[in-house]
Amino acid sequence: MGPKILTLFTTWNVSMESSYVYNNTINILSSFLPEINLVVFLPEEDIEFFDVPSGWTVLPISRVDCGDTPVLKNMFFDVYEKFESTFYGYLNADILLDRGIIETLHAVKAYMFIKGKKQVLISGKRIDLYLDKIKRKYISTQKDVEYLSQVGTIAYGYAEDFFITTKTYPWRYIPDLVIGRPKYDNYLVYMSRQRSVPVIDASMTILALHQRTQKRIKIKDECNERILKKAKKYNFKFIQRGNLECATYETRYNRDGKIYIYRRGQFTTKC
């Protein structure tokens, strides 16, 4: 049996969000086992107290900045060393995915083989769902995700909460940006476009349900902007051009129910 299609990782801080949000994420992602590898990154001192979900791997956060916040590319490096898979992806811990993620990745894999592509960056728009408003805490099945995605509101393309790529992605051009702070996501899309890495907007074939609660603590720290400025890589136009509307490709379901990758023609002037 060859490598799995995906190694997917996340990380969380129990002091910043309701525990049931993370439990929902564990339940939904676990439904993809054993087709993919699932990883959670935690501070080393917290690992011994964590009840590891069946089928998951726990890894220590190896590098932080901006007040003990994980550096994105180092988590990618860590899973590269530990796992062999076709794709590797980061997911915010409050995002629930549907099975479209598996079908989409198989379609992208076939497309890359035909086109001779070695690098790619896949993301998608999230669907915001306010759990407090609908008075619901627990989401446990794929049917729940599909139904609640119809209740939620799709976000604009500046909010990108998951990224999937390959081991050959050119991280050497990406500064030490941290997750959970503004601008890391937009810069990643922008720099991928600059380096001719195909960027695919998979919003039409992957449901990414964003669990929002009143308890959620949102830290308004522009540390990624400071990191970019220090590296002399910051310009506000970079952020505008890191919108998913600027992705060169998108996924769609065709009439036969199969997923295809299409090249976009028109872009907004911001792109």
173-197 pLDDT per residue, tens: 999 999 989 899 999 999 999 999 9
Take residue 5 and report the two structure tokens written for it.
Answer: 């299609």
Q: What is the pTM of this model?
A: 0.95
Q: Does residue 144 lie within any of the structural domains?
A: yes
- Answer whether 177's CB lies under 8 Å from 227's CB: yes
**pLDDT on residue 158:** 86
- Answer whether 119's CB lies under 8 Å from 199's CB: no
Take residue 99 and report the two structure tokens written for it.
Answer: 């099975």
- For 50-64, how does the pLDDT look when each residue is reduced to its tens digit (9 = 90+)? 899 999 999 999 999
**Inter-CA distances, 132 with 140, 214, 260, Å:** 17, 7, 36
d(CA 96, CA 25): 6
CATH code where residue 234 lies? 3.90.550
Q: Does residue 271 lie within any of the structural domains?
A: no
**pLDDT on residue 238:** 82
Q: Does residue 84 lie within any of the structural domains?
A: yes
- Give the β-pairing of 249-253 and 85-91: unpaired
Q: Does residue 270 lie within any of the structural domains?
A: no
Domain that holds residue 206: 4-263
- For 199-219, how does the pLDDT look when each residue is reduced to its tens digit (9 = 90+)? 999 999 999 999 998 877 676
Between 11 and 214, where is the model more confident? 11
d(CA 121, CA 76): 13
Q: Which of 132, 129, 175 is nearest to 155 (CA)?
A: 129
| CA 134 to chain centroid | 25
Q: Which of 136, 135, 126 is nearest to 159 (CA)?
A: 126
Take residue 96 and report the two structure tokens written for it.
Answer: 């629930």
Share of the chain above pLDDT 70, in %: 97
Q: Which of 156, 164, 145, 252 is nearest to 208 (CA)?
A: 145
**pLDDT on residue 217:** 61
Domain count, the chain: 1
At residue 92, what is the residue type?
N
**Inter-CA distances, 226 with 175, 188, 233, Å:** 11, 16, 10
